[in-house]
Amino acid sequence: MENAEQIFRQYYEDVYRFLRGLTANEQLAEELCQETFFRAIKHIDDYKGSSNIRTWLCSIAKNRYFTYLKKQRHIADNELEAAIPDSDSQFFEILEDKETAAIIHKYLHELKEPYKEVFMLRVFGELSFRGIAEIFGKNDHWACVSYHRAKDMIRKRMKEDSI
């Protein structure tokens, strides 16, 4: 097992990028990243090694973010309104535009679980389908299907709103 400093150095950027994608806020991502590593170090004995450390850390980060949202009651239904392209490569290009990313977040927050979480882990967390499957205790196929269903639901909503 690696020591806390090695884990921090090796995985900090990954966890920060994941949280930045979830929050669309650099300061909040930084704060939640620090909380994530604090919790990880505090509960390192709970890490069983059944998934890789990056997946475990992103799972902690995701839970910190959801806890933050609950505390802030910050899930706004009318924050976003934009288009999701058909191909993943076009979609990732569009996410570079902060305005468009905010619109996608609106539709994303309207999705039910597990679709919302799978989509966030795949797109913003940049996790593989295998990594997502490990978090949910499912197989790779389930993660892939859930992601594509989520993407289709967002596209459908956009068409309904004529975006």
129 in the same domain as 61: no
- CA 80 to each of CA 35, 49, 106, 150, 158: distance values in angstroms, whole numbers, following the listed order: 27, 38, 4, 16, 11
Of the three residues 74, 93, 124, the one that is the final residue of a domain is 74
Mean pLDDT of the chain: 75
66 in the same domain as 17: yes
Q: How confident is the model at residue 100 (pLDDT cuts 50, 70, 90)?
A: low
Residue 71: half-sphere exposure toward Cβ, Cα within 13 Å: 6
Residue 81 reports pLDDT greater than 60: no
151 in the same domain as 120: yes
115 in the same domain as 51: no
Task: Report the percentage of the chain scoring pLDDT > 90.
Answer: 0
Structural domain that includes position 48: 1-74
pLDDT score at 80: 32
Check which CATH number belongs to the domain holding 6 and give it: 1.10.1740.10
150 in the same domain as 94: yes
51 in the same domain as 84: no
Of the three residues 58, 74, 90, the one that is the final residue of a domain is 74
5 in the same domain as 57: yes
Helix (H, G, I), strand (E, B) or coil at 36: helix
Q: How many CB atoms lie within 10 A of CB 75?
A: 11
Q: How far is CA 129 from the centre of its chain?
A: 13
19 in the same domain as 2: yes
The model carries a pTM of 0.47
pLDDT score at 78: 33
57 in the same domain as 83: no
54 in the same domain as 85: no
Number of independent structural domains in the chain: 2
Of the three residues 74, 93, 113, the one that is the final residue of a domain is 74
117 in the same domain as 95: yes
